[in-house]
Amino acid sequence: MPPYIGQIMLLILIAAVGIWLYRKKRSAGMFKEAQDLSFLLNDVAGNTEAKAMLHDMISFIKNPGKYADAGARMPRGILFYGPPGTGKTLMAKAIAGEAGVPFYACSGSDFMQTYVGVGASRIRELFKTAKKAEKAVIFIDEIDAIGKKRGRTPGASHDERDQTLNALLAEMSGFHERDGVVVIAATNRLDTLDDALTRPGRFDRLIEISLPDVNARERILALHSADKPLDESVDLKALAKSTVSFSGAMLENLLNEAAIFAANENDGTKILISQTHIDKAFFTVIAGAEKTDTSFITAEDRKITAFHEAAHALVTRLLLPDSYISKVTIIPSTRGAGGFSLSIPKDTLYMTKEKLLANMKVLLAGRIGEELIFGDKKITTGASNDIEKVSTQMVNFITSYGMDEDFGIFNMNVLANSGLGTGDSEAKLVSLCQDRLKQLYCETKDLLAENLVSLRKIADELLNRESLNQDDIEGILG
């Protein structure tokens, strides 16, 4: 054996130990807990509905035994979804702060490694660290990096993703009832997530974190300007109005850029941030925002959305006075709608024919609102979802509920099931549905035309305040 072989082997050994130590240190350091636990829900502006859904989780983390004693199964995973920069991370941190437990943050992309198995072992390590603390909030940003829908795209990295995802799911189902550990994941892209993630016992509480409305924007601006010397030319209320579709992060960025402009210009006198600095910063922030960003929504689009949503809300008010309108908004949702109206029907066991018809009219109202105000050449694709829903309801109305006087009592599925259906009978059904919907459309249009003043009032308020609830609408209608 030549004498240098021993030296080479020694070198290799030293290198191997070095790499091992380095990796160990890296993965241990990755899940450092946040030290600052003073962050509370009040430090997150807006998102009132989301916050309301979190109170019991906070109480659960503090005292899991109480829920176990009651035989309650609490969600172990919460999934925040919504556009980037809307405060998902902040909200998770605030939950840990409210419960007074450690907060471990990481990103889904931390687990996507070239080597199969590394991601999975990091997941196990993360949970081990959290469980040691007994009570904790684990936050996984960009969960879509691990939890993308399976299948289709072939590739070597697949195994790695599956193993990592499986490790995560296994860890989550391995929680003991009395562990106060909660996992919060965040994504901007709910549609790409694997269904396995949202099954019961996993991330089964989905909470939308949406773009802030004008009130929330004012609060965010107030929060982030508290430590900034604004001069009296800056009107936060007006600024909130002119920052439609800005996320919280963009608002924070806006004030920060303005502060930088102010500091750059400063010549030794007292530094003050003026409206001029803010105007300059405005363009910096807009230019830096992604193209897909919704801050490019035109005033015209906003107006159309306002009348569309106002019409849904008004017809709900007129025809379904028992329903509670929890939210009407022109803030675009992550699911691609320009705005939305959400009403909660009164709990009943059965739906009456009258209610079913009224429901269909509510769905048709959006398109009618656009047509009445802007003319039939300006109607938009914004109604596509409504049209799908109303078509389904009409088919059911006729063929499942036997409520159409002319069609009578007959279920069309029976034909298809027994192989007797013909293209002819289907064509007849389609044309009947079209007729009936046309009629409902006309009736609803008359109704809205009679109530045009109210429609305009609601739409104007929506343009002003961006979101309204039941009380607001009642106030507007007097």
Q: Report, as residue numbers or ranges, the catalytic residues.
A: 309
The least distance separating ligand ADP from the CB of residue 103, rounded to whole angstroms, comes to 13
Q: Half-sphere exposure (CA, 13 Å, Cβ side) for 448?
A: 33
> Binders of ligand ADP among 15-74, rule CB under 6 A?
44-47
Specify whether the CB–CB gap between 74 and 80 falls below 8 A. no
- The count of residues interacting with ligand ADP (CB under 6 A) is 17
Q: Which residues contact residue 380 at a Cβ distance below 8 angstroms, ignoring those fewer than 6 apart?
A: 304, 308, 370
Out of 77, 89, 217, 230, the residue judged to bind ligand ADP by CB under 6 A: 89
Q: Which residues contact residue 196 at a Cβ distance below 8 angstroms, ignoring those fewer than 6 apart?
A: 147, 165, 169, 202
Out of 90, 167, 240, 304, the residue judged to bind ligand ADP by CB under 6 A: 90
State the first-to-last Cα distance of the chain, in angstroms, to the nearest integer. Answer: 99
In DSSP notation, 448-467 reads HHHTHHHHHHHHHHHHHHSE
Q: Is residue 366 a contact residue for Zn ion (CB under 5 A)?
A: yes
DSSP structural state of residue 106: E
Q: Is residue 85 a contact residue for ligand ADP (CB under 6 A)?
A: yes
Specify whether the CB–CB gap between 146 and 110 falls below 8 A. no
Tell me phi and psi for residue 36, to 5 degrees.
-80, 100
Beta strands (DSSP E) in 158-270 are 180-187, 205-208
Nearer to Zn ion, 108 or 366 (CB): 366
Helix or strand run (H / E) with residue 282: helix 275-288
Span of 82-90, 193-201, 405-413, 451-459 interacting with ligand ADP by CB under 6 A = 82-90
Beta strands (DSSP E) in 291-368 are 324-329, 340-344
Q: Is residue 363 a contact residue for ligand ADP (CB under 6 A)?
A: no
Q: Is residue 316 a contact residue for ligand ADP (CB under 6 A)?
A: no
Q: Which residues contact residue 280 at a Cβ distance below 8 angstroms, ignoring those fewer than 6 apart?
A: 257, 258, 261
Q: Of Zn ion, ligand ADP, none, which one does residue 46 interact with (CB within 5 to 8 Å by kind)?
A: ligand ADP
Distance (Å, rounded) from C-alpha 101 to C-alpha 104?
Answer: 10
Span of 171-179, 216-224, 237-245, 363-371 interacting with Zn ion by CB under 5 A = 363-371
Nearer to ligand ADP, 245 or 393 (CB): 245
Out of 37, 68, 223, 297, the residue judged to bind ligand ADP by CB under 6 A: 223
The least distance separating ligand ADP from the CB of residue 209, rounded to whole angstroms, comes to 6
Q: Of Zn ion, ligand ADP, none, which one does residue 193 interact with (CB within 5 to 8 Å by kind)?
A: none
Amino acid found at 19: I
Q: Is residue 386 a contact residue for Zn ion (CB under 5 A)?
A: yes
Q: Is residue 97 a contact residue for ligand ADP (CB under 6 A)?
A: no
Angle of the 248-265 helix axis to the 214-225 helix axis, nearest 10: 40
Task: Name residue 467's beta-bridge partners.
Answer: 329
Residue nearest to ligand ADP (CB): 248
Token pair 């960025």: residue = 253
Q: Is residue 87 a contact residue for ligand ADP (CB under 6 A)?
A: yes
The least distance separating ligand ADP from the CB of residue 119, rounded to whole angstroms, comes to 21
Q: Is residue 314 a contact residue for ligand ADP (CB under 6 A)?
A: no
The least distance separating ligand ADP from the CB of residue 206, rounded to whole angstroms, comes to 15
Binding mask 231-260 for ligand ADP (x = CB under 6 A): -----------------xx--x--------
Token pair 């890296």: residue = 26
How far is C-alpha 368 from the geometric centre of its chain's CA atoms?
28
Q: Is residue 86 a contact residue for ligand ADP (CB under 6 A)?
A: yes
- The count of residues interacting with Zn ion (CB under 5 A) is 2
Out of 184, 186, 244, 468, the residue judged to bind ligand ADP by CB under 6 A: 186
Residues near ligand ADP (CB under 6 A) are 44-47, 84-90, 186, 220, 223, 248-249, 252
Residues near Zn ion (CB under 5 A) are 366, 386
